[in-house]
Amino acid sequence: MSLVNQTCWVVGGVGAIGRGISRGLLKAGATVIVNSRSEERLTRFSEDLGHPDRLITIKGSLLPGYASKTVGQTLDAMPLDHVVAHGAVRYWGNFGTNNRRDESHMIQGDHRGSFLQSMTPEDFVGPASQLASLHFSAAQVR
């Protein structure tokens, strides 16, 4: 499928899941916008891809209180054709550095094993809905 002349925003596109989605969209010819709260992660992602011309990075968050600014920055960067709000697990863990772990840590685990594999379905449901709720709230901003 060709996405030439299409612009896609991959919300939180620098984590393990978002990186794969972003790479696929770039390969299909799209211009890809990604956001992250971490300038370091944005820079590392762009470097890993060889600084493609069709990659636009935006430092911003969709957490409450920040979503409006991030959505505004994104819409000001370029008109959007697609928004990809994937269901990665960034907000699903409550431990690690700054009480958060990204999806790669959640899937791979640490010396004790995979965090996701140790969760029960009941443990998973509540936190898993947080990311979708954030994306929904951000979509209503403009």
Question: Is 52 part of any domain?
Answer: yes
CA–CA separation, 30 and 5 (whole Å) = 6
Question: Is 91 part of any domain?
Answer: yes
Residue 41 phi/psi, 5° resolution? -65, -35
pLDDT score of 112 more than 60: no
Question: Is 82 part of any domain?
Answer: yes
Tell me what percent of the chain is helix, strand and coil, each rounded to the nearest 5. 45, 15, 40
The mean per-residue pLDDT over the stretch 97-123 comes to 55
pLDDT tens readout for residues 34-59: 999 899 999 999 999 999 999 999 99
Question: Is 1 part of any domain?
Answer: no
Rounded to two decimals, the pTM is 0.70
Determine the structural domain holding residue 73 and report its residue range.
7-139
CB atoms within 10 A of CB 93: 18
Q: What residue has token string 């890809």? A: 32
Write the CATH number for 74. Answer: 3.40.50.720
Residue 127, pLDDT score = 63
Question: Is 53 part of any domain?
Answer: yes
pLDDT score of 92 more than 50: no
Q: Is the dihedral angle over the CA atoms 133, 110, 22, 121 positive or is it negative?
A: negative
pLDDT score of 94 more than 60: no
CB atoms within 10 A of CB 138: 22
Q: Total structural domains in the chain?
A: 1
CA–CA separation, 96 and 104 (whole Å) = 13
Question: Is 46 part of any domain?
Answer: yes
Question: Is 16 part of any domain?
Answer: yes
CA–CA separation, 104 and 129 (whole Å) = 18
